[in-house]
Structure 1
Amino acid sequence: MADEHGTPATGPQLGLDELLDQLITHAQDVRNVQTKLNGLLAANTAIMGHLELPVVLRQIVRAACELVDAQYGALGVIGPDGGGLEQFVYQGIDDETAARIGSLPSGHGLLGALIDDPRPIRLSRIADDPRSAGFPADHPPMGSFLGVPIKVRDSVFGNLYLTGRRHGAFTDSDEQLISAVAGTAAVAIENARLYDEAGKRQRWLQASAEVTQQLLAYSGEDPLRVIARSVQELADADLVTVVLPAATPGELMVEVATGLASDKLTGMSYPIERSVAGAVIDSGAPILIDNIDRQNAFTLHMLEAVPVSAVMALPLAGSSRPRGSLLVARLNGRRSFTPNDLQMATTFANHAAVALELADARADQQRVVLLEDRDRIARDLHDHVIQRLFAAGLTVQSLQARQDDPAAAAKLGQVVTDLDVTIRQIRTSIFDLRGALSTSATSVRADLLGVAAEQAGQLGFEPALRFTGPVDTLVDEALADDLAAVLREALSNVARHARASKADVTLDVSFSTVCLEVSDDGVGFGATTRRSGLANLTERAARRGGSMTVTSTPHEGTQLRWQIALK
């Protein structure tokens, strides 16, 4: 601008131009701040719009990259021991590049520095910082760096890493914006955790109700296996075992195992001393172990089969003391169980233990009803059926004595014999009804009936047993063991070689002799039949001053007779 003589303007007019320039600059700054605030608001909205933790973590990284125009971003979740990264969620690197790079960072170099000292780190060039550990092969080049911790309540959940800002290095305002995003991320992560915990509790409670219903059902899968399988699924475990006290004092046994190496672990026995399961059974309190290799207080049987690390040991409560222990484990390298996991699993185990107690009580009640019913049937057979058969036998025997016709007398005598055999068979059935479920010491009758039931699967049919004489009075425990061994070997031979359709067993005991006979309708002994088992039976008889004979007719059957004299 010039005056009327064409001289340029100076003074106040020049000051006005400067003010206009400053005003424009401030307006641009305000606009930039407004843009960043809008971006921060959008980032917060995107982060808070989800409740699933994996989705929330990915959204945090994506929103942070967009907010400061970073090419690459990542969120590292710090492990429970605080010594490294448990998860690493990244943005900006495609799957092919990630596969070429190899394993994800574990928390060294700059990443580790932020873990050790959770304060923001801002660098113009990563390579210029002495804490930088460099990049692996095939890793894309990265220049500027910004790292900010994410604190959930009073603990550091993880760190947010950004690099490769497209327009120069990260600024102070970028650091402030990302710090604000980290604050929002902490709230979102806490909400996602609470949501996840609520969902887990709901699933545990639902499974508890389903398992209780199944355990109280009248039939179905083994209750302990149902419990173990449910815990493995709910706890995201690799291996679950149910450990109970073994028959041998001072030992435990794996009753049920599900998951990895379950076949190898099922049936395993080991000392109770210093074991995790033993400690839980003795104290009745659960135990949580982050890493079994980093402690010396307990031993763990699972390590013989599977390299597990994190372990939960839960008591299975009984009426007076824990009836066993439920061990839940994850493989080495997986995340540890949390106290919330332990609490939910313990509640489930307590509910399952109550269901087991109720199921056992119901089974005992059914057993009592069955015993009473069998006792009634046995009593009716003894008091009515046998007495009537005995009376009928006396009547037929009286008619036989008056019969003049020899043929008719012989037929009546055969009827008396058949009635006598029938009475003996009914008495054996009566003992089977009463003795098989008796809680008293076993007798020779129970032993032989048990052997017959044991061999029935191999034979393909039930052997017929008959007892005569004072069997349980004159046969002591040692002789009962010999008789059981003889019957087992005899029926085993029938199953392996005879191709029989029936087998009859008779034990005849008098005050002078004991005779066990086993006969079948099979093909008889062949030329290649092994005789080592029969030699053992002969030796058993010889030790007692008795004998063992075998009579065999081809295609008509075999009869084994084992007899000793009572002293």
Structure 2
Amino acid sequence: MSVEPGPGGTPHPDDVPRLLEAMRAVGSGLQLRSTLERICETAADLADARYAAVGLVAEYEEGAAEPGPDERLREDPGGRPVRWIGRLPPGHEGPGPVPASGFLRAPIRVQGEWLGTFCLAEKRDGGPFGDHDLDMVRVLAREAGVALGHARLYEAAKRRERWIDGSVAVTTALLSGGDADEALQVVAEQARRLSDSAAGLVLLPAAQGGLEIVAVASERPSGALGLVVPPENAMAGHILAGEAVFVEDAASDPRMLSDLARGYGPTLLLPLQSGGRVLGSLVMARAGDARPFTDVERTLATQFASQAALALMMAEAQRDRERLAVFEDRDRIARDLHDLVIQRLFATGMLLESAQRRSVLPEVRQGVGKAVDELDVTIQEIRTAIFALQQGPAEFPAGLRTRVLREINMAAVPLGFKPSHRFVGPVDTVVGELTAKNLIAALREALSNAFRHAEASRIDVTVDVTARLADERPGVRLTVADDGVGIPEGGRRSGLRNLKRRAESLGGDSWYGPGSGQEGGGTSVVWEAPY
């Protein structure tokens, strides 16, 4: 039997107190599940029914159509799953038609939209449902619709608040001036958490075209970091054109990379786009058996991606300003070295040569001559340093050795001294581009940590391509050792976890130990990976 919650019969006067109490109970909370449970309990109590349940579709699908009177307890009109809360008679917990006899069914509406259905079954006294039952359930259904509407608004507000908090966390991470890769990892982790996904990925344009996976947050181990989606891939084309892509089942979609999509179902691929410029892509992939994304979730995820893109663009501009400040400082240092230091050293050398000519003692002339030679060597070294300071990054070749030297030279400005370096083996010929790129990022992080935390007066950088990894594979080992204060007991230097994660994604490892100070003082950071 189906009823409408519109105007109709009037509850019996004896039932009015119970009905008012029930209405207060139904409308007393905002949590969706607890509200539905109260609806079931109240409806069963009012109608003296053994079983009561509420089937809700609206939280999964916007604008769900109302079922016809002959559809009874099917999944729903579109074949979508219904979330049942409460108790149904044995044998009818799942989808499928059930006999109408002994059942009372009433739709729940909010502003004309069908949200769900009351289902009451089996009067406790064994008789049929009467007019009083229908009247009370009709009134209760109307109040339940209002309560459900409030609960939906509350849940939507909480959901939006979570996404806003996530956007704030992403913006803070990107603009904090820390490691860029760590900030992108925050973007991936927040996207996965907020969308209830199994994996979150950040992709940026690759040098050779297409999109490179630069950050992965996943519930399961993933080897996706560093993989490149080729430019001819359909998905990459859509993303680079600024188009969002919604995939119902990633594992079976031919446009997806099979190695990445295996085991995943509903997936959002959103462009990171700001000011008409596509900076990359944000991917949120749910498990294969997970529910699809609703329209509201798609909208919130798209807004989150836009906010992340804006923060990414601002962070890029901030890094450009910082780089410009560094280059300006390097130019100033180079000018001072050339105009002041070299001229004074040259003048000192001239004075020493004059003193050498006037000296009558051979041992004095010999000692002064050695001092002049040392000054000449010093002047040549300073001129080499000036040349390095005046060069921009684009003027360096792409070899690993030169990139390491570039990082060392750039670190010399904030450190106040230049770290020493040593290369072991054919560095430029055996290390692949992916490993080289990650090694440079690890070196940058280690030097940054040393500057911020070590209070060191000496740093030694070693790149060894003759190393053997734990499994005896050949690989490259980076060691950055300082003579600073070391790592406090129970503390961990910022970025060490990121170094380890980066190494493990390539099949390597990272750790730290005693440094190069006296009696083992300081810190030595080791990072290694296969070629």
Corresponding residue of 1:72: 51
C-alpha distance 327-409 of structure 1, shift in aligned 2 (>3 A): same
Identity %: 32
Aligned pairs (5 A) from 1:458-537:
462-463=420-421, 492=464
Deviations, residues 8-55 of structure 1 (Å, cap 9, x unaligned): xxxxxxxxxxxxxxxxxxxxxx99823345444433332222222111
2:30 pairs with 1:51: yes
- Among 384, 394, 408, the residue aligned to 1:439: 394
C-alpha distance 277-446 of structure 1, shift in aligned 2 (>3 A): closer
Corresponding letter in the other structure for 1:56: T
- Among 100, 111, 116, the residue aligned to 1:122: 100
SS in 2 for 1:71: strand
Any gaps of 5 or more consecutive residues in structure 2? Answer: 1-8, 62-75, 412-418, 437-461, 469-478, 482-531
SS in 1 for 2:376: helix
Corresponding letter in the other structure for 1:122: A
Aligned pairs (5 A) from 1:291-302:
291-292=249-250, 299-301=255-257
Task: Tell me how far 1:362 sits from its aligned partner.
Answer: 1.7
C-alpha distance 228-464 of structure 1, shift in aligned 2 (>3 A): closer
C-alpha distance 381-290 of structure 1, shift in aligned 2 (>3 A): same
Task: Tell me how far 1:346 sits from its aligned partner.
Answer: 2.1
Corresponding residue of 2:330: 374
Conserved 8 A contact 1:151-1:158: yes
Corresponding residue of 1:184: 143
Distance 1:208 1:306 in 2: 29
C-alpha distance 400-105 of structure 1, shift in aligned 2 (>3 A): farther
Task: Tell me how far 1:167 sits from its aligned partner.
Answer: 0.8
Give the paired residue count.
406
- Structure with max Cα Rg: 1
Task: Tell me how far 1:252 sits from its aligned partner.
Answer: 1.6
Corresponding letter in the other structure for 2:175: L
Conserved 8 A contact 2:251-2:263: no
Corresponding letter in the other structure for 1:304: L
SS in 1 for 2:395: coil
Corresponding letter in the other structure for 2:395: S
C-alpha distance 225-484 of structure 1, shift in aligned 2 (>3 A): closer
Distance 1:336 1:386 in 2: 69
Aligned pairs (5 A) from 1:155-170:
156-170=114-128
Q: Counting helix residues as a fraction of each chain, which structure ranks higher? A: 1
Conserved 8 A contact 1:281-1:321: no
2:99 pairs with 1:89: no
Corresponding letter in the other structure for 2:144: A
Distance 1:280 1:450 in 2: 36
Aligned pairs (5 A) from 1:123-522:
123=101, 144-153=102-111, 156-173=114-131, 174-175=133-134, 177-219=136-178, 222-249=182-209, 251-261=210-220, 263-276=222-235, 278-282=237-241, 284-292=242-250, 299-301=255-257, 304=260, 307-435=263-391, 437-442=392-397, 447=402, 450=405, 462-463=420-421, 492=464
Distance 1:34 1:415 in 2: 114
Conserved 8 A contact 2:251-2:261: no
Distance 1:274 1:64 in 2: 55
Corresponding letter in the other structure for 1:286: A
Task: Tell me how far 1:343 sits from its aligned partner.
Answer: 1.9
C-alpha distance 332-149 of structure 1, shift in aligned 2 (>3 A): farther
Conserved 8 A contact 2:10-2:135: no
C-alpha distance 329-185 of structure 1, shift in aligned 2 (>3 A): farther
Distance 1:56 1:381 in 2: 75
Task: Tell me how far 1:372 sits from its aligned partner.
Answer: 0.8
Task: Tell me how far 1:444 sits from its aligned partner.
Answer: 9.3
Deviations, residues 526-557 of structure 1 (Å, cap 9, x unaligned): xxxxxxxxxxxxxxxxxxxxxxxxxxxxxxxx
Conserved 8 A contact 2:108-2:145: yes
Deviations, residues 271-311 of structure 1 (Å, cap 9, x unaligned): 344554542331x24344444468x5x63348736522222
Conserved 8 A contact 2:49-2:123: yes
Conserved 8 A contact 1:232-1:258: yes
Corresponding letter in the other structure for 1:74: A
Corresponding letter in the other structure for 1:54: R
Task: Tell me how far 1:156 sits from its aligned partner.
Answer: 4.0
Task: Tell me how far 1:407 sits from its aligned partner.
Answer: 2.4
Corresponding letter in the other structure for 1:43: A
C-alpha distance 184-346 of structure 1, shift in aligned 2 (>3 A): same
Task: Tell me how far 1:66 sits from its aligned partner.
Answer: 0.7
SS in 2 for 1:158: strand
Tell me whether 307-316 or 49-58 shows the greater mean CA deviation.
Answer: 307-316
Task: Tell me how far 1:381 sits from its aligned partner.
Answer: 0.6
Conserved 8 A contact 2:25-2:38: yes
Distance 1:310 1:220 in 2: 31
Task: Tell me how far 1:484 sits from its aligned partner.
Answer: 5.4
TM-score normalised by structure 1 residue count:
0.61
> Aligned-pair RMSD on alpha carbons?
4.1
Conserved 8 A contact 2:274-2:306: no
Task: Tell me how far 1:197 sits from its aligned partner.
Answer: 1.1
Any gaps of 5 or more consecutive residues in structure 1? Answer: 1-29, 111-120, 124-143, 466-481, 503-567
Distance 1:207 1:395 in 2: 67
Distance 2:352 2:134 in 1: 113
Distance 2:174 2:23 in 1: 48
Distance 1:45 1:448 in 2: 71
Conserved 8 A contact 1:265-1:302: no
Task: Tell me how far 1:352 sits from its aligned partner.
Answer: 2.4
